[in-house]
Protein backbone atom coordinates (compact mmCIF):
# COMPACT_ATOMS: atom_id res chain seq x y z
CA UNK A 1 0.00 0.00 0.00
CA UNK A 2 1.45 3.37 -0.98
CA UNK A 3 0.81 6.76 0.55
CA UNK A 4 -0.31 9.52 -1.81
CA UNK A 5 -1.15 13.14 -1.07
CA UNK A 6 -1.87 16.31 -3.05
CA UNK A 7 -2.21 19.72 -1.41
CA UNK A 8 -3.28 22.89 -3.22
CA UNK A 9 -2.48 26.19 -1.52
CA UNK A 10 -3.64 29.62 -2.63
CA UNK A 11 -2.52 32.85 -1.06
CA UNK A 12 -0.60 36.06 -1.33
CA UNK A 13 2.53 34.20 -0.28
CA UNK A 14 2.25 30.41 -0.45
CA UNK A 15 5.77 30.20 0.97
CA UNK A 16 4.41 30.69 4.51
CA UNK A 17 2.11 27.66 4.24
CA UNK A 18 3.08 24.62 6.23
CA UNK A 19 1.52 22.48 3.53
CA UNK A 20 1.84 19.19 5.40
CA UNK A 21 2.53 18.69 9.08
CA UNK A 22 5.05 16.23 10.50
CA UNK A 23 2.44 13.75 11.79
CA UNK A 24 0.79 13.47 8.37
CA UNK A 25 4.16 13.13 6.67
CA UNK A 26 5.14 10.36 9.07
CA UNK A 27 1.85 8.52 8.45
CA UNK A 28 2.41 8.76 4.69
CA UNK A 29 5.97 7.44 5.09
CA UNK A 30 4.65 4.46 7.07
CA UNK A 31 2.35 3.64 4.13
CA UNK A 32 5.34 3.85 1.78
CA UNK A 33 8.61 3.46 3.67
CA UNK A 34 10.84 2.53 0.71
CA UNK A 35 10.77 5.87 -1.13
CA UNK A 36 9.35 9.32 -0.40
CA UNK A 37 9.35 12.28 -2.75
CA UNK A 38 7.58 15.61 -3.07
CA UNK A 39 7.07 17.48 -6.34
CA UNK A 40 5.93 21.10 -6.17
CA UNK A 41 4.25 22.80 -9.12
CA UNK A 42 3.58 26.51 -9.18
CA UNK A 43 0.56 27.54 -11.21
CA UNK A 44 1.54 31.20 -11.15
CA UNK A 45 -0.42 34.09 -9.79
CA UNK A 46 -3.53 36.03 -10.70
CA UNK A 47 -4.87 39.20 -9.05
CA UNK A 48 -2.16 39.04 -6.38
CA UNK A 49 -2.88 35.44 -5.40
CA UNK A 50 -0.45 32.61 -6.14
CA UNK A 51 -1.34 28.94 -6.43
CA UNK A 52 0.91 25.99 -5.67
CA UNK A 53 0.28 22.23 -5.90
CA UNK A 54 2.36 19.77 -3.88
CA UNK A 55 2.37 16.09 -4.90
CA UNK A 56 3.69 13.72 -2.25
CA UNK A 57 4.32 10.06 -3.08
CA UNK A 58 5.46 7.33 -0.68
CA UNK A 59 6.22 3.87 -2.07
CA UNK A 60 5.93 0.48 -0.40
CA UNK A 61 8.13 -1.77 -2.53
CA UNK A 62 6.92 -5.36 -2.64
CA UNK A 63 8.14 -6.85 -5.94
CA UNK A 64 10.00 -5.98 -9.12
CA UNK A 65 12.18 -2.91 -9.32
CA UNK A 66 11.40 0.14 -7.20
CA UNK A 67 9.54 2.85 -9.12
CA UNK A 68 9.64 6.21 -7.30
CA UNK A 69 6.55 8.39 -7.06
CA UNK A 70 5.24 10.88 -8.04
CA UNK A 71 5.54 9.55 -11.59
CA UNK A 72 6.26 12.26 -14.16
CA UNK A 73 6.56 12.32 -17.93
CA UNK A 74 8.32 14.70 -20.30
CA UNK A 75 5.06 16.59 -20.95
CA UNK A 76 4.75 17.64 -17.30
CA UNK A 77 1.98 15.19 -16.38
CA UNK A 78 2.19 13.88 -12.81
CA UNK A 79 0.66 10.67 -11.43
CA UNK A 80 0.29 9.49 -7.86
CA UNK A 81 -0.83 5.86 -7.98
CA UNK A 82 -1.93 3.59 -5.16
CA UNK A 83 -3.14 0.43 -6.80
CA UNK A 84 -2.63 -2.68 -8.82
CA UNK A 85 -3.73 -3.34 -12.39
CA UNK A 86 -4.98 -6.92 -12.73
CA UNK A 87 -6.58 -6.38 -16.15
CA UNK A 88 -8.19 -3.91 -18.53
CA UNK A 89 -4.85 -2.34 -19.45
CA UNK A 90 -2.03 -4.55 -20.67
CA UNK A 91 0.89 -4.48 -18.24
CA UNK A 92 3.68 -6.67 -19.61
CA UNK A 93 5.89 -8.82 -17.39
CA UNK A 94 8.51 -6.68 -15.65
CA UNK A 95 6.66 -3.41 -16.34
CA UNK A 96 5.38 -1.10 -13.63
CA UNK A 97 1.61 -0.61 -13.70
CA UNK A 98 1.94 3.06 -12.70
CA UNK A 99 4.28 3.75 -15.63
CA UNK A 100 1.91 1.97 -18.01
CA UNK A 101 -1.07 3.92 -16.65
CA UNK A 102 0.75 7.26 -16.97
CA UNK A 103 1.58 6.47 -20.62
CA UNK A 104 -2.09 5.57 -21.27
CA UNK A 105 -3.36 8.76 -19.61
CA UNK A 106 -0.90 10.91 -21.58
CA UNK A 107 -2.55 9.78 -24.83
CA UNK A 108 -5.95 11.15 -23.71
CA UNK A 109 -6.99 14.38 -25.43
CA UNK A 110 -10.62 14.45 -24.36
CA UNK A 111 -12.09 14.09 -20.88
CA UNK A 112 -14.14 11.09 -22.00
CA UNK A 113 -10.96 9.30 -23.12
CA UNK A 114 -9.35 9.73 -19.72
CA UNK A 115 -12.48 8.54 -17.94
CA UNK A 116 -12.63 5.55 -20.28
CA UNK A 117 -9.04 4.57 -19.44
CA UNK A 118 -9.76 4.69 -15.71
CA UNK A 119 -13.00 2.72 -16.16
CA UNK A 120 -11.09 -0.11 -17.85
CA UNK A 121 -8.63 -0.57 -14.97
CA UNK A 122 -9.38 -3.81 -13.14
CA UNK A 123 -8.07 -4.07 -9.60
CA UNK A 124 -7.94 -1.98 -6.45
CA UNK A 125 -6.74 1.59 -7.03
CA UNK A 126 -6.80 5.25 -6.16
CA UNK A 127 -5.01 7.95 -8.12
CA UNK A 128 -4.24 11.64 -8.39
CA UNK A 129 -3.29 12.87 -11.87
CA UNK A 130 -2.16 16.29 -13.06
CA UNK A 131 -2.91 16.73 -16.78
CA UNK A 132 -0.45 19.42 -17.78
CA UNK A 133 -1.83 20.38 -21.22
CA UNK A 134 -5.28 21.19 -19.76
CA UNK A 135 -4.14 22.19 -16.25
CA UNK A 136 -6.66 19.68 -14.85
CA UNK A 137 -6.36 17.75 -11.61
CA UNK A 138 -8.04 14.33 -11.77
CA UNK A 139 -8.50 12.04 -8.79
CA UNK A 140 -10.58 9.01 -7.97
CA UNK A 141 -10.69 5.47 -6.75
CA UNK A 142 -12.11 2.20 -7.97
CA UNK A 143 -15.86 1.62 -7.78
CA UNK A 144 -15.60 -0.46 -4.61
CA UNK A 145 -13.32 2.01 -2.79
CA UNK A 146 -10.68 -0.63 -2.05
CA UNK A 147 -7.95 2.03 -1.77
CA UNK A 148 -8.68 4.99 0.46
CA UNK A 149 -8.77 8.48 -0.97
CA UNK A 150 -9.93 11.28 1.29
CA UNK A 151 -10.79 14.87 0.44
CA UNK A 152 -10.51 17.97 2.61
CA UNK A 153 -12.18 21.10 1.25
CA UNK A 154 -10.97 24.46 2.56
CA UNK A 155 -13.14 25.85 5.33
CA UNK A 156 -11.50 29.25 5.63
CA UNK A 157 -9.29 31.58 3.60
CA UNK A 158 -6.01 30.18 4.95
CA UNK A 159 -7.02 26.54 4.53
CA UNK A 160 -5.72 24.15 1.85
CA UNK A 161 -7.44 21.72 -0.53
CA UNK A 162 -6.15 18.22 0.31
CA UNK A 163 -6.51 14.83 -1.37
CA UNK A 164 -4.80 12.00 0.51
CA UNK A 165 -4.76 8.28 1.20
CA UNK A 166 -4.61 8.87 4.97
CA UNK A 167 -6.75 10.82 7.41
CA UNK A 168 -5.40 14.26 8.26
CA UNK A 169 -6.46 17.40 10.02
CA UNK A 170 -7.03 20.67 8.13
CA UNK A 171 -3.91 22.53 7.07
CA UNK A 172 -3.67 26.26 7.64
CA UNK A 173 -1.06 28.96 7.31
CA UNK A 174 1.47 29.09 10.07
CA UNK A 175 1.39 32.20 12.23
CA UNK A 176 4.80 33.77 11.66
pLDDT tens-digit readout, 128-153: 999 999 999 999 999 888 888 988 88
Q: Which residues are catalytic?
A: 2
Radius of gyration of the chain from its Cα atoms, rounded to whole angstroms: 16
pLDDT higher than 90, residue 125 = yes
Q: What's the CA gap between 69 and 135, in Å, rounded?
A: 20
Cα–Cα nearest to 163, from 3, 7, 54, 20: 7
Q: Would you call 147 helix, strand, or coil by DSSP? A: coil
Residue pair 58/80 in contact by the 8 Å Cβ criterion: no
Q: 19 preceded by cis ω (within 30°)?
A: no
Cα–Cα nearest to 70, from 168, 118, 2, 123: 2
Q: What's the CA gap between 31 and 166, in Å, rounded?
A: 9
**Average pLDDT in the chain:** 85
Please work out, in degrees rounded to the nearest 5, the angle formed at the alpha carbon of residue 77 by the alpha carbons of 162 and 46: 60
For the chain, which residues make up each domain, given as ranges? 3-164
CATH numeric code, 3-164: 3.60.20.10
Q: How many residues are listed for the chain in this entry?
A: 176
Q: What's the CA gap between 38 and 116, in Å, rounded?
A: 28
pLDDT tens-digit readout, 62-119: 777 788 899 999 999 999 999 999 999 999 988 889 999 999 999 999 999 999 999 9
Percent of the chain with pLDDT over 90: 48
The pLDDT value given to residue 176: 42
Amino acid sequence: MCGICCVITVGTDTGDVQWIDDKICESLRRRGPNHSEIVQKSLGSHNGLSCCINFSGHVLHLRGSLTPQPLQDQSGNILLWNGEIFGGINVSEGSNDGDVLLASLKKCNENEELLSVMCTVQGPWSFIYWQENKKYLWFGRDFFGRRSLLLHLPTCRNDSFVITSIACRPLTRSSK
